[in-house]
Amino acid sequence: MASVSIKPLDGPGGYLRWKESLLLRAHTLGVARVLFEDRPTGGDEAAAKTWARNDAVCRGHILATLSDRLLPDYARFATAAELWRALARTYDVETPRVWRDKFKQFNFDEGTGEVLLEQLAHAEALAMAAKLPDDFVADELCGKLPEGVSTRVIMRSGPDNEMGMSLVWDAARAVVSTGVEPELLWETTAMAEDAEGCYSDDPKPEQNTVCWNCSKPGHIARNCGEPGRVTRKRWRRA
């Protein structure tokens, strides 16, 4: 099997791809176990030699995939496992606050339905990295999604269907599957109130709609001027 090409690691931005690519290469070469298993003891000389060889190969591949800037900082580690842990200590750090800020700043870019689903996956990944509750994430994204999608979520949520990302995904996929044009996908109620041939059979937001954000009728969360109440409080306590 051909060796996987790995872009040299040169900072936190490329760590995840580098880590997964390096693990694939180590498993392909049959030396990945030295990253997680200690040197064998008990007098088995053959096993010790095999481990030492595998460790040298693995350590060499790790060092070879570090940038010239990083190499001097990590070449001092004697084994592949020590080197692997040192790099993880530097770059594999969970920072929920950073991911939470990125999620809060996220906004959908108007485009095709396929782009919408891709952006939805990105937003969900940011939220999961920030360890945000599922219902809070769905609530926040509904205020940013196209009105046709958020309306479907609201209509389908209720006692039997709690607000969550599964509802958001179902609604988004249902709208995108219609093949709606981008200009209609992002069209608001005010823009479309006189239009014909709407892609959705759901009632318009102003018809029997209650805002899930403030519990008042006549508008949806996108047009609500009040801050979130229930889910935001629950998220702050989490």
pLDDT digits over 10-63, tens only?
A: 998 889 899 999 999 999 999 999 999 888 887 788 999 999 999 999 999 999
Same domain, 123 and 176: yes
Place of tokens 């064998």: 40
Same domain, 82 and 157: no
* Boundary of a domain, candidates 175, 190, 205: 190
Write out the residue range of the structural domain in which residue 51 sits.
12-91
Q: Which of 75-84, 105-114, 125-134 has the highest mean pLDDT?
A: 75-84
Residue 26: other Cβ atoms inside 10 A: 21
Extract the tokens encoding 69: 């800037």
In a domain, 64, yes or no: yes
* Boundary of a domain, candidates 91, 109, 140: 91
Closest CA to 92 of 30, 23, 34: 23
| HSE-CB for 220 with a 13 A CA cutoff | 27
Same domain, 82 and 110: no
Same domain, 156 and 76: no
Total number of domains in the chain? 2
Q: Say what the pTM is.
A: 0.57
Q: What is the pLDDT of residues 108-120, one digit of tens each?
A: 988 778 899 999 9
In a domain, 236, yes or no: no
In a domain, 227, yes or no: no
Same domain, 183 and 103: yes
